[in-house]
Structure 1
Amino acid sequence: MSYELNRIEELCRERGWSHYKLAKEMNDSANNISNLFRRTTTPSIVTLRRVCAAMGITMAEFYKRDGISTVLTENQKALLDHYNVLDSRSKDKAMAYIKGLADGRYDA
């Protein structure tokens, strides 16, 4: 399961919410939320924003780890938006390319 789905589960547990309760708070159908977890794919940014709005948290709070808040630049947000629309094979290629840029194997 993706980090995002695990985090949604964690936040639901903290609130005592079921997937049904989350769906109601998001004004969504319980089927849509169930399908999200059944597919075990990374939710889109739009879906994550809706989850955050329902839970009354920001995206930075959603991605907060060990008390450290993650603040993204506009370029980082754009990169994630583009990444999230890719299929899994394209995501793997994008990660390999970015790693290659970071370690100097590819020219920018």
Structure 2
Amino acid sequence: MNELNPLDRIRELCEQRKWSYYQLSKASGIPYSTLNTMLNKENMPSLPTLQKLCQGFGISIVEFFEPDRNLQGLTKDQALCLSLFTSLSQEEQQLALAYLKGLSRTL
């Protein structure tokens, strides 16, 4: 069984979204100094901190620990769309959803 390191996963999610730790701190409501210290000193996040981080990323705790779980049963195109969507900022996600909703009404 492959153990997931929460700090590596946080770094991975930031990298996927092209977010700085400052952007993550703003999205999650965790002070930048707290986040920076946690990641640089390899301090594992508490569960409440992890929940705030997941909210900031727009994912569930399950998605945090099992990133491929929601991709099972999806086509390659669907998985790509989901991957691209999750790499967007919250504002960009809202714009993408509005665009898709507009497209679906015109079909």
Higher relative contact order (CA 8 A, sep 6+): 2
Measure how far apart 1:28 and its partner are: 2.5
Measure how far apart 1:26 and its partner are: 1.4
Measure how far apart 1:30 and its partner are: 1.2
2:18 alignment partner in structure 1: 16
The alignment-based identity, stated in percent, is: 31
Structure 2: distance between partners of 1:32 and 1:42:
12
What is the root-mean-square deviation in Å for CA atoms of aligned residues?
1.6
Structure 2: distance between partners of 1:3 and 1:40:
10
Q: Which has the higher helix share?
A: 2
TM-score, with structure 2 as normaliser = 0.57
In the alignment of these two chains, the number of paired residues is 67
In structure 2, the gaps of 5 or more residues are: 71-107
List 4+ stretches of structure 1 deviating above 2 A.
none
In structure 1, the gaps of 5 or more residues are: 70-108
Measure how far apart 1:29 and its partner are: 1.9
